[in-house]
Amino acid sequence: MAKAEEIENGNGFKMGDPYYCKECKRNHTKGKIYKEHLNFALFEDANDDDIEDEGNELNYDDEAELVKAFHEIDDEESTIEIENQLEDSIYSEDEDISDNRDSIQDCINAVKKLPGVGEATLNKLIKAGFSSLESIAFTPPKIIQQESGLGEKTTEKLIKSSMEILNIGFKSAEDVWEHRKNIARITTGSQELDDSLGGGVETGSVIEFFGEFRTGKTQIMHQLCVNVQLPKENGGLEGNALYIDTEGTFRPERIIQMAEGLDMDHKKVLKNIIFGRAYNSDHQILLVKEAANIIKERNIKLIVVDSLIGHFRSEYIGRGTLATRQQTINSHLHDLLRLCDIYVDLSIVVTNQVQSKPDTFYGNPLRAAGGNIVAHGSTIRVYLRKGKGEQRIAKIVDAPNLPEGEAIFSITENGITD
Ligand code: GTP
Ligand code: MG
């Protein structure tokens, strides 16, 4: 869909100035160009009254149109941006689009069946990005209210019903065991590292890789994004990855090298990695909250946050901000943990820098940043350090069901190996 063509009417524009749009043959208003044009493009037959509603009360004729509208809004407005290098390959195959649309349709149908959801409520939910039961059940009520404009009572009811359908609440230990039996694993590329992790990076947990600079944290993140796409018999989950990059160190070139090392079609591999660059901690938090809306639709089986603490560390400076910082990190980590709880087949990996703790007299003076909050939030922690040349040493330091052990792996041109 083409965006409005902006034609300069005078010398410079201020908010509220009119823009003449060649495509709609009508004026748009600066600050609202995109929304007005989207409305025009979606409902070319719509009369001007509809357009002036700023899109809040649009009438969708039928469900197919609603799905289409959602899809277009999603394509155009998603804060998850795809790196330029990846753009060519996105949606290049028709079958993927129809798969994608089928699963969106399934999610919407489930929301539609919630008690009390009529056409108007459904429209509001979808326009605000709440197109699945999961996204409703796990988003704080205040956020649903703000984004969708629905009332407090309706929101509460929707959350409660979604939670009931998804069977969220107290469970017996037997149910927990059933849940854990479904846990799958992604190979890291190194047999030794896989073994020390109990067979690879498991789903249903937040796994933290921490260590000094150049110890291979980012390399492991890249490798997992490739490996998650492998067939199950080869150590993958046949799923896609979502990469949240807070440091600007994501490199498609490395993905290509790693994919080629595994004889995979690198174009497909790149296409299946959804990339989001977080420019500050608020943005990072938002990207994780948005992730809930696309996990099912885009078959995401791995979420990477590289790195978890970096922005928080640089934004909250000084002793006085420590408490707020820890609280914010804590709630961010809980957003991640919650995703693991809902999606049994989702794996979350985060990286963490280490900070030196000079008052340690014995043991390793390097400690993961973020303190106890991160230690308690992540379910498995892996400490990385340098060995000789390409070698790196990984030590499992904190896992509820794994022995503490060390593994040696290498970083090569083709990625992580033994
Ligand atoms: P920070 O983000 O700085 O904390 O470090 P990190 O732990 O994320 O390090 P990263 O994963 O970026 O690892 C960098 C290391 O990977 C380099 O020191 C190289 O040794 C290795 N590496 C990266 N690319 C290649 C490559 O193409 N071939 C080989 N052999 N090694 C590579
Ligand atoms: Mg890194």
Pocket of ligand 1 contains residue 213 by CB under 6 Å: yes
pLDDT of the residue at 137: 85
- Per-residue pLDDT tens, the chain, 418 aa: give them: 344 444 444 445 555 666 666 666 667 665 555 556 556 555 543 333 333 333 333 333 444 544 454 444 444 433 333 333 333 333 334 445 555 567 678 888 899 999 989 889 999 998 887 888 888 887 888 888 988 999 999 999 999 999 888 877 777 788 777 777 888 999 999 999 999 998 999 998 899 999 999 999 999 999 999 999 999 999 999 999 999 999 999 999 999 999 999 999 999 999 999 999 999 999 999 899 888 778 888 999 999 999 999 999 888 887 778 888 888 888 898 889 888 877 888 999 999 988 655 554 555 545 666 655 555 556 788 999 999 989 999 998 877 777 777 899 999 999 999 9
Domain coordinates in residue numbering, the chain: 1-61, 86-166, 177-417
pLDDT of the residue at 308: 93
SS (H, E, C) 303-334: EEEECCCHHHHHHCCCHHHHHHHHHHHHHHHH
- CA distances (Å), 311 to each of 83, 247, 307, 322, 325, in order? 20, 9, 8, 14, 10
Candidate of 188, 193, 212, 219 to mutate for ligand 1, largest count of ligand atoms within 8 Å of Cβ: 219
Q: Which CATH superfamily is domain 177-417 in?
A: P-loop containing nucleotide triphosphate hydrolases (3.40.50.300)
**Six-digit token pair at 111?**
């929301």
Cβ 229 vs Cβ 269: under 8 Å: yes
pLDDT of the residue at 70: 43
pTM: predicted TM-score of the whole model, two decimal places:
0.68
CA of residue 210 to ligand 2 center, whole Å: 10
The closest residue, in CA terms, to atom 26 on ligand 1 is 413
CA of residue 221 to ligand 2 center, whole Å: 9
CA of residue 215 to ligand 1 center, whole Å: 7
Contacts (Cβ under 8 Å, ≥6 apart) of 211: 217, 354, 383, 384, 385
Point out the ligand nearest to the CA of residue 391. Answer: 1
Point out the ligand nearest to the CA of residue 414. Answer: 1
CA of residue 163 to ligand 1 center, whole Å: 42
Point out the ligand nearest to the CA of residue 254. Answer: 1
Pocket of ligand 1 contains residue 195 by CB under 6 Å: no
Candidate of 209, 218, 249 to mutate for ligand 1, largest count of ligand atoms within 8 Å of Cβ: 218
CA of residue 216 to ligand 2 center, whole Å: 7
Cβ 34 vs Cβ 75: under 8 Å: no
Tell me the residue ranges of DSSP E strands in 212-314. 240-245, 273-277, 300-306
Pocket of ligand 1 contains residue 413 by CB under 6 Å: yes
Contacts (Cβ under 8 Å, ≥6 apart) of 52: none
Please state, in angstroms and rounded to a whole number, the distance separating the CA atoms of residues 346 and 58. 35
Pocket of ligand 1 contains residue 411 by CB under 6 Å: yes
pLDDT of the residue at 187: 97
Pocket of ligand 1 contains residue 187 by CB under 6 Å: no
pLDDT of the residue at 39: 60
Ramachandran area for residue 195 (φ above 0: left; ψ -120 to 50: alpha; else beta): alpha
CA of residue 131 to ligand 1 center, whole Å: 39
Candidate of 411, 413, 416 to mutate for ligand 1, largest count of ligand atoms within 8 Å of Cβ: 411
Pocket of ligand 1 contains residue 361 by CB under 6 Å: no
Please state, in angstroms and rounded to a whole number, the distance separating the CA atoms of residues 169 and 339. 15
CA of residue 262 to ligand 1 center, whole Å: 19
CA of residue 214 to ligand 2 center, whole Å: 7
pLDDT of the residue at 299: 93
Pocket of ligand 1 contains residue 219 by CB under 6 Å: yes
Please state, in angstroms and rounded to a whole number, the distance separating the CA atoms of residues 111 and 331. 26
The closest residue, in CA terms, to atom 14 on ligand 1 is 214
Closest CA to 316 of 282, 270, 343, 357: 282
The closest residue, in CA terms, to atom 25 on ligand 1 is 413
Pocket of ligand 1 contains residue 218 by CB under 6 Å: yes
The residues facing 348 across adjacent strands are 206, 303
- Looking at domain 86-166, its CATH class is mainly alpha
Pocket of ligand 1 contains residue 28 by CB under 6 Å: no
Pocket of ligand 1 contains residue 57 by CB under 6 Å: no
Query: Do strands 273-277 and 347-356 pair parallel, antiparallel, or not at all (unpaired)?
Result: unpaired
Cβ 240 vs Cβ 301: under 8 Å: yes
